[in-house]
Amino acid sequence: MNDARLNGIIVLIVDCNPDSLDLSRRALESYGAVVLTANCATESLRIIENAHLDVLLSEIDMPEMDGYELITKIRKLENQMRLTNNEDAHVPAVAITSLTEADVRRKSILAGFRAHISRPFDIADLVTAVANLAGRPEPGSIA
């Protein structure tokens, strides 16, 4: 069940639900991704400061700091790092949520996420989103 598009892609998953975190981690690892995990937003910020990431997956509805606030802090941190390191790209991020409000997708994109996946999600959709954001779309597809 290995999809070569994910081999070597470094993904950080931020989710306060241990079962969801483990399911996403195992799924992406089975497709070849290198997966880092954080069970809260604060922990994810420490990881981001010290690791090179290809893709970020973050739950929106977290107790301590929601995903919208997290992505705002990440973008500010990236901007500060870019000023000192001359790096010019933001880590592409996917919002994951079971929230059903109609404006959640729009709010996610406006906050700084590049994609949105609703729970429950199909593993194939998650793999495709990660591959596309990491610049490894399926052959013949449009990224």
pLDDT for the residue numbered 80: 78
Give the pLDDT of residue 2. Answer: 46
Q: Where are the domains of the chain?
A: 4-133
Strands of 115-118's sheet in order across:
34-38, 10-14, 55-59, 93-97, 115-118
Below-50 pLDDT ranges, the chain: 1-2, 140, 142-143
What was the pLDDT predicted at 105? 86
Model confidence pLDDT, tens digit, residues 93-132: 999 988 777 788 889 989 999 999 988 888 999 999 999 9
- State the pTM of this model: 0.88
Instruction: Fill in the amino acid letter for 13.
Output: I
The fold for domain 4-133 equals: Rossmann fold (3.40.50)
DSSP-assigned letters across all residues of 39-61: SSHHHHHHHHHHS--SEEEEES-
Planar angle of CA 101, 35, 98, nearest 5 degrees: 15
